[in-house]
Chains A and B, each alone.
Chain A
Amino acid sequence: MTALIARLLMVAGLFFFFATTIGILRFPDFYSRMHAAGKGDTLSSLLLLSGLALVNLAGAPLTFDNILVSLKIMAILVFIFLASPTATHAIIDAGYASGIEPWQKPGTSKEGDDDLAV
C-alpha cells in the first residue's frame, strides 16, 4: 500500500516535471516561463521527494535508521519548499528591475485592459 502511494506520488512528480519543461519551452515571455518553472519545479520536487521518503519506508522494517533517512528527505523537502519559490521570486524581481516588458496578446491595448481594447 505504501509502495503504491509512493509510486503514485513519484509518477505525479514526473508528470509535473514534464509539464514544467513544456511550460518553459512554450510560454511566450520571461515572466510566464518563470511562472511555469517556479511552480512546477517546486511541486514536482516535493512530490518526488515525498515519494522517495515513502519508498524508503515501504517494505522495510520501521527501524530508527530508516525513519531517520526519511526524516532527512523531509528536511530537504522543507528546504526546497522555502528556497525554490524564493529563488524564482528573486529572478523575476531582477527581470522586472532590468525592465523586461511582460508579453501581451497581439492586438490588445498596452495597458492590458482587454475589455476596452478595440
Chain B
Amino acid sequence: MIWQFDIILLTLIVLCALFTISIKDLLGAAIMFGAYSFLMCLLWTEMGAVDVAFTEASVGAGVSTILFLAIVHRSTRRVKVRQRGRIFYKGLGLTASLMMGGLLFYASSDFPAWGDPLAPASNHVSPYYLLHTLADTAVPNVVTSVLADYRGFDTMFETSVILTAGLAVLIVLRLDGSRTGGPVRKMARPIAKGYEDTIIRFISRAMAPFLQLFALYVLAHGHHSPGGGFQGGVILGATFILLAISYDLQLVVQTFTEKTALILANIGLLIYSGTGALCLLLGHNFLDYAALAKIIPGATTVTARSDGIMMVEIGVALAVMSIIVIIYTNLVSDGTYEKGL
C-alpha cells in the first residue's frame, strides 16, 4: 500500500461516482461508470486482491460497460427531468441517502482495521486456508481453492444465479414474432454489408482467436495465477461481443445460436453440479473432490481435488460465456436478433 497512490485513487473514485450519478447524458454516465470500475480494479490490485481486480476489469469495466451501451443504444440517451415535485423527491432522496450513509459510517467504526491480524476473519478461517491449501488441494492460488473447493457450494449457486439472470433477460426481452402476432422471423439473414470497415474488421478478426486462447489460458492457469472460470468465461463471451460489434450481430447469432448458447449454459451448470453428484456417488460428500481419486487414473486424493476444481471451473466458464452472449444479443437487438450496435 502506497498511501499517496491510495488517496489519488480514492479521490478519483469518488469523483467518478459523483459524475456517474449526476450526469444527464446516459451514454456519458455509462462511460464514467466504466472508468469507475477500472479505478476500483486498480484499488483492488493495490490492496493485493488480484483475482477480484481481474474480475472487476473483465466484468465491471469490460462487459457491463458494453451492456450499458447496448441498453442506451436501444432506449434513450437523455434523462427526463421531473419538473413537478422535484424538490420534494430530491429532499426525500437526500435524506434517505444521508441516513444510509450515516448508518454505514457508524457501522464502519466497528470494523477491524485493514489487514488487522487480530480481526475475527484472520483468526481461525483464513489461517487454515492459507496453511492447508497446498497440502490439501495441490493448488498454489488460495483464492481458486477457496472459491471452487472449500466454498464450492457458494460458487455453484453463483453460477446458477448467472444462469437465472440470462434466462430472465431472455424471458423479458426475447421476441420471436409469435408473441407480437407478426410472422415468425427466419433466423437466416445475410450478414449486413452496410457498415464495412476493413481495418476494424481485420483487426477484430485477427485478434479474436488470440483473445480466446488467452481466455483458455486464464481458465486453465487459474490454479497458479489470478484467473479462473469466471474471468475466462467473461473474456470468451467478450470475444463474441467484439465480433458482433465489429462485424454484424448476425454473424454471432448465426454461428453461436441461441440454442447452442442455452445448451452450453445448462451444460456448464450441469458439469458443476454433476461433479458434485459424482463425488456423492463415489461415497463422499457433495463436491468433495477427493472422491474423484477413485476414477481418475494416477491421482491421489490431493491432486484429485485440483482436478475437481479444474472440472468445475470449465463448467463455470461455459455457463458464463454463453449467458454473456445471450444477454448481449438480447439487450442490443431488443430481443429480435435483427440488428445490433
Nearest B residue to A89 via CB reads B199
In A68-118, which residues have CB < 8 Å from any B CB? Answer: 79, 82-83, 86, 89-90, 93
Interface size counted on chain B using CB atoms at 8 A: 8
Q: Is the CB of B200 within 8 A of A90?
A: yes
A70 to chain B, nearest CB (A): 16
Nearest CB on A from B195, distance (A) = 8
Cα–Cα distance between A34 and B199 once the two chains are bound (Å): 17
User: What residues on B are CB-neighbors of A83 within 8 Å?
Assistant: 203, 207
Q: Which residues of chain A are near B210, meaning CB under 8 Å?
A: 79
- List residues of A (37-94) whose CB comes within 8 Å of B's CBs: 79, 82-83, 86, 89-90, 93
Secondary structure of the A contact surface, majority rule: helix
CA A83 – CA B197 in complex, angstroms? 15
Residues in A neighbouring B199, C-beta threshold 8 A: 86, 89
Q: Mark B174-188, 1 if CB is under 8 A from A, else 0.
A: 000000000000000
> Complex formed: what's the CA distance from A114 to B312 in Å?
67
Bound-complex Cα distance A79 to B206 (A): 11
Task: Give the docked Cα–Cα distance between A82 and B206 (Å).
Answer: 10
**With a CB–CB cut-off of 8 A, which chain B residues contact A89?**
197, 199-200
| B203/A82 in contact, CB under 8 A | yes
**A82 — which chain B residues lie within 8 A by C-beta?**
203, 206-207
Q: Chain A's nearest CB lies how many Å from the CB of B91?
A: 38
Chain B nearest Cβ from A73, distance in angstroms: 14
A86 CB contacts on chain B under 8 angstroms: 199-200, 203-204
**Which B residues touch A93, using CB under 8 A?**
197, 200
Could you tell me the distance between the alpha carbons of A86 and B200 in the complex, rounded to whole angstroms?
6
| Interface hits, B239-274 → A, CB 8 Å | none
**Residues of A contacting B206 with CB < 8 Å?**
82
Whole-angstrom CA separation of A79 from B200 in the bound complex: 14
Interface 0/1 of B202-233, CB less than 8 Å to A: 01101100100000000000000000000000
Q: Among A79, A82, A86, A90, find the residue whose CB has the most chain B CB atoms closer than 10 A.
A: A86
- In the bound complex, residues from chain A placing their C-beta under 8 Å from that of B197 are 89-90, 93
- How far is the CB of A25 from the nearest CB of chain B, in Å? 17
Q: Bound complex: CA of A89 vs CA of B203, how far in Å?
A: 11
Give B145-182 as 1s and 0s: 1 = Cβ < 8 Å from A's Cβ atoms.
00000000000000000000000000000000000000
Q: Complex Cα distance A93/B206, Å?
A: 20
Cβ of A78 to closest chain B Cβ, rounded Å: 9
**Distance of A93 Cα from B195 Cα, bound (Å):** 11
Closest chain-A Cβ to B234's Cβ sits at a distance in Å of 17
Q: How far apart sit A86 and B201, CA to CA, in the bound complex (Å)?
A: 10
In the complex, per-residue mask of A19-39: 1 if CB is within 8 Å of any chain B CB, else 0: 000000000000000000000
Residue of A nearest to B204 (CB): A86
Docked CA distance A85–B197 (Å)? 14
- Report Cα–Cα, A83/B239, bound state, in Å: 13
What would 18 A/B residue contacts be, using CB atoms closer than 8 Å?
A: A79-B207, A79-B210, A82-B203, A82-B206, A82-B207, A83-B203, A83-B207, A86-B199, A86-B200, A86-B203, A86-B204, A89-B197, A89-B199, A89-B200, A90-B197, A90-B200, A93-B197, A93-B200
Q: For the A-B complex with A83-B203, A86-B199 known, give 11 more contacts whose Cβ atoms are closer than 8 Å.
A: A79-B207, A82-B203, A82-B206, A82-B207, A86-B203, A86-B204, A89-B199, A89-B200, A90-B200, A93-B197, A93-B200
Q: Which 6 A-B pairs have the closest CB atoms?
A: A86-B203, A90-B200, A89-B199, A82-B203, A86-B200, A86-B199
